[in-house]
Amino acid sequence: MNQRKSTGLPSMWGLLLVAVLAACGSDSSNGQTVTVNLSLLVDARQALHQSIPSRVFAWIERWFPGATPAWAQAVTDIASIQVEITGPGIAVPATTTVPVSDPTSGQQIPVSIQAPVGANRTITVSAFNAASPPRKIFGGTLPNVNLTAGAPIDLEITLVRLFTVTVNKEGDGSGTVTSSPGGINCDPACATQAQQFQEGTTVSLNAAAAPGSTFAGWSGACSGTAACTITNNATVSARFNVAVSTDQLTVNLAGTGTVTSNPSGISCPGTCAAEFATGTTVTLTATPTNGSTFTGWSGAGCTGTGPCVVAIVGDQTVTATFTAAPVLFTLTVTKAGAGAGTVSSDPPGITACATTCSANFAPGIVVTLTATPQSGSTFAGWGGACSGMGSCQVTMDANRSVTATFDPPISLSVLTLQKTGTGVGTVTSSPAGIDCGPTCVASFATGSTVTLTATAAPGSTFIGWTAGPCTGTQPCPVVMSTAQTIVAQFDLVPDTVTLSVNTSGPGNGTVTSDQGGISCPGVCSASFLRGTVVTLTATPIGNSVFAGWRGAPCEVFGTAPCAITMNDNFSANARFERFGGG
């Protein structure tokens, strides 16, 4: 009977061998064995089953036109073939190994092996390379073979390429390393173990420390302490250390800040408690945040603000205290306008600000801002928390903003004020600039109007504007179309006395003064400089006659003109009688 069987493994991972099996002898119902002769054939038909080239089976292409011979290395590495037969009633597997000198397509590899006949036999074929010791590089199994004495049967066995995972253990502790899928189970008594897996398999290695030990991590093909994933030939070491005695260090935070440890473990807030080996020292470092200040340590023997060194002897607790930053208000100054200038503050904080500046000040403090125009510019005034042209004082009871506007340079004309006369006085201008007094020359924008006002000092009098476009004594508006010169005259007030004249009697007449001023009736009183000699003349009218002067100072002159030296205020009386009267 002829039959063909397949392992069912994916052919794309395999190397196809055709086994022609012939068994000679009688039935094994009494436990007899037969000599099994296998002729293993490297079969190029493998290529007919492949749709996608791969590293594992691409060596087949060496026997086809245009293929790359380099892929043949996968097969030519085979140095020996081992065949093993197992099954029911076979206590010790039948095993034999034959060398392979030419594992090329079409090459027959004869194998002869003694095995008990019977049903449900499993034939396992392994291919080894020439390493020392040899390493298994391919393997395949064909189950459910009926091994009988009789006609040969044809078999197909797919050999799958294998990779080796080797596990070593290090350290003074103990533990177990296992694999998934199974195959590796290196228990505490095991120092090293190797296992092969089919190519394409993902092997996960897991380490479990024995009581009293800790798993310190992988080295070699893996690192860290998580499961180790292997997909090809690899050597991995698992380190197990004897567990050490530890104590817990706890950090408490008061305020806003962070605390970290050296060695690592504490990163608080976040991780504020960690285990450290008993007898070691841990250095804690505090860093304030959000403008706070680190005030100091307490607990575990730590004080001050430097690093805190904690001796780990028993559980320890350390508190790091941070003081929050004081509440401050922000003053923002913005320079506006096309002109140039700076703003500074008192107390300091805003210094020569020429764009936009800000500074923080304590609540309630009064900040004085001063604007300084530059390069011919003029300060045009404040905005925001201040207004006007004078100094700006800001009470910092909240965040405040101030704008300082500077106008660019303008065309100016010079106004000059001169004073003449015997008296004293001042002339001021609106807008400000002239205060003459001391400042008698100032520049004003060309085309603007400047109003001058004169004020006489006590004992003087403003006589008037005597040069320039102004006249009279009223305030003078000056249009600054060009440079202007204005003259103001102040004289001393004269020392005068008053001479008063009255007439009496039934007659009529007039009294006049030679110095002018008196023409009575009409003007009967006038002032004269002290010391002036004033002569009064009485003239009767009509049928009246001048009867003479009455009273001082003219009485002594009778009816003649009265000459009075005006060294005081005087009053003169002229009497007129009718003609013929007494």
pLDDT the model gives residue 492: 85
On whether the pTM is more than 0.85, the answer is no
Average pLDDT over residues 44-51: 34
Reported confidence tier of residue 576, pLDDT bands at 50, 70, 90:
very high
pLDDT the model gives residue 220: 95
pLDDT the model gives residue 36: 65
Question: Tokens standing for 34?
Answer: 């037969």
Residue with tokens 């091994």: 147
Find, among 541, 428, 555, the residue nearest to 486 by Cα: 428
Average pLDDT over residues 571-576: 94
- The more confident residue out of 258 and 29 is 258
Average pLDDT over residues 277-285: 93
Contacts of 338 (CB under 8 A, 6+ apart): 406, 407, 408
The answer, yes or no, to whether residue 47 has pLDDT greater than 70, is no
- The more confident residue out of 55 and 514 is 514
Strand, helix or coil at 192? strand
Give me the residues paired with residue 465 across strands: 488
> What architecture does CATH give domain 11-161?
Sandwich (2.60)
Per-residue model confidence as pLDDT tens digits over 154-199 = 667 777 788 899 999 999 989 999 999 999 999 989 999 999 998 8
Can you give the residue ranges of every domain in the chain?
Answer: 11-161, 171-242, 246-323, 329-407, 412-492, 496-578
Reported confidence tier of residue 134, pLDDT bands at 50, 70, 90:
confident
pLDDT the model gives residue 26: 38
Reported confidence tier of residue 536, pLDDT bands at 50, 70, 90:
very high
pLDDT the model gives residue 125: 87
Share of the chain above pLDDT 90, in %: 54
Among 79-93, 171-185, 245-259, which is the least confidently predicted range?
79-93
Per-residue model confidence as pLDDT tens digits over 477-525 = 999 989 999 999 998 888 889 999 999 999 999 999 998 889 999 999 9
Per-residue model confidence as pLDDT tens digits over 300-336 = 999 999 999 999 999 999 999 999 878 889 999 999 9
Pairing of strands 153-170, 234-242: parallel
Mean pLDDT of the chain: 83
Average pLDDT over residues 471-475: 91
The distance from CA 320 to its chain's CA centroid, rounded to whole angstroms, is 26
Surface-to-core class of residue 5, CB atoms within 10 Å of its CB (0-12 exposed, 13-18 middle, 19+ buried): middle
Per-residue model confidence as pLDDT tens digits over 348-377 = 999 999 999 999 998 999 999 999 998 778
Average pLDDT over residues 274-280: 90
Q: Enter the DSSP assignment of 74.
A: H
pLDDT the model gives residue 95: 93
Share of the chain above pLDDT 70, in %: 84
The answer, yes or no, to whether residue 560 has pLDDT greater than 60, is yes
Reported confidence tier of residue 459, pLDDT bands at 50, 70, 90:
confident
Give the range with max mean pLDDT: 20-34, 131-145, 429-443.
429-443
pLDDT the model gives residue 541: 93
The answer, yes or no, to whether residue 14 has pLDDT greater than 50, is no
The answer, yes or no, to whether residue 5 has pLDDT greater than 70, is no
- Helix then strand count (H, E) for the chain reads 1, 46
- Sign, CA dihedral 104-105-108-114, equals positive
Reported confidence tier of residue 17, pLDDT bands at 50, 70, 90:
low
Strand, helix or coil at 366? strand
Per-residue model confidence as pLDDT tens digits over 94-115 = 898 988 877 665 566 777 787 8
- The more confident residue out of 341 and 37 is 341
**HSE-up (13 A, CA, CB side) for residue 537:** 7
pLDDT the model gives residue 35: 67
Contacts of 145 (CB under 8 A, 6+ apart): 5, 21, 120, 121, 122, 123, 155
- Which one-letter amino acid corresponds to residue 399? N
Surface-to-core class of residue 123, CB atoms within 10 Å of its CB (0-12 exposed, 13-18 middle, 19+ buried): buried
Find, among 236, 226, 222, 96, the residue nearest to 164 by Cα: 236
Separation between Cα atoms, residue 52 and residue 66, nearest integer Å: 17
Surface-to-core class of residue 415, CB atoms within 10 Å of its CB (0-12 exposed, 13-18 middle, 19+ buried): buried
DSSP 125-163: EEEE-S-SS--EEEEEEEEEEEE-SSS-EEEEEEEEEEE
The Cα diameter of the chain in Å comes to 212
Among 138-152, 448-462, 513-527, which is the least confidently predicted range?
138-152
Per-residue model confidence as pLDDT tens digits over 187-244 = 989 999 999 998 889 999 999 989 888 899 999 999 999 999 999 999 999 999 988 8
- Which one-letter amino acid corresponds to residue 537? T
